[in-house]
Amino acid sequence: MINKASRDALRRKRHSRIRLRIVGSPERPRLSIFRSSKFIDDRNGRTLASASSREASLASAASKVDSARSVGRALAERAKAAGVSAVVLDRGGYRYHGRVRSLTEGAREGGLDL
């Protein structure tokens, strides 16, 4: 069994490999996914739109996967309000299943072109 530190190191390694190929542009900004059990507020970077399952309006979903889908829909609405209609998906080194997949499907349902 792999411990948490090793899993994090492997995810960071995958993320750095992914970031070599994925580059956002003004026409298609990068949609970066970060899955965490902690609340993180990143005020240093320039964020066009954001959504979190910690928001009161999005936290009422039954499961984590359902919550991720509602976060994706909310993110799509906010991105469209900011003038973004197409994005490049940066899954952050996470496998494309579960919450990550649900979030991207919710963003597609909300009208984002991934």
**What band does 64 get if pLDDT is binned at 50, 70 and 90?**
confident
- Is the pTM higher than 0.85? The answer reads no
Count Cβ atoms below 10 Å from residue 59 Cβ, excluding itself.
12
d(CA 104, CA 96): 9
Distances (CA, A) of 114 to 19, 36, 62, 75, 79: 16, 22, 26, 13, 12
Distance in angstroms between the alpha carbons of the first and the last residue of the chain: 35
Mean pLDDT of 70-94: 89
Most confident range, picked from 30-44, 54-68, 90-104: 90-104
- pLDDT score of 46: 72
Question: 30 and 88 in contact (C-beta within 8 Å)?
Answer: yes
pLDDT in tens, 29-59: 888 887 765 444 444 557 788 888 888 787 7
Region 74-96: mean pLDDT is 89
